[in-house]
Amino acid sequence: MLELTMAAVSAADEGATAGMLMADAPSEPGAVLRVGRDKSVCRLATPDDWLFVSRVHLEFLCGPDGGWQVTWLRGSQADPSSEVRLTVGEYAQPIAYGGTVPLPRGGSGEIVVLDRTAPRSVNVGFYHEA
């Protein structure tokens, strides 16, 4: 099982969790959870006017072994207007535009999508059951 929580945070409401959304999916090969602006395909949707987030920005995919990975999908722009970082415990790493990173089994962490032009972010917490 992969559990996700998402909060859209702007400078005005930093620390607020009122807008927190949750989604989960069983760890079955081919299971998918998506984060982005397009509510028709994303289980966790950001505000429509947050254009630093693509229609489908992050895709969490369960592989054949039951392990999950996250991909920062390439959008319509050659140069993205956001940055994406993965944090697990004390370890933090950027995720490359179009890049994929495995999520630790039995672990939790956070993926943050940062707007390069304004003080706002999309914070996606995850928990991947072992």
CATH number at residue 27: 2.60.200.20
Is the full-model pTM beyond 0.85? yes
Instruction: List the one residue out of 30, 2, 1 whose CA is nearest residue 124.
Output: 2
- What does the angle CA 126 – CA 110 – CA 84 come to, to the nearest 5 degrees? 125
Count of beta carbons in the 10 Å neighbourhood of residue 8? 20
Question: What's the pLDDT band for 19 if we cut at 50, 70, 90?
Answer: low
In sequence order, the 6+-apart residues with CB closer than 8 A to the CB of 63 are: 29, 69
Q: Is the dihedral of CA 42, 8, 59, 25 positive or negative?
A: negative
Boundaries of domain holding 83: 2-14+21-128
Question: What's the pLDDT band for 72 if we cut at 50, 70, 90?
Answer: very high
Domain count of the chain?
Answer: 1
Residue range 40-63, pLDDT digits in tens: 999 999 988 899 999 999 999 999
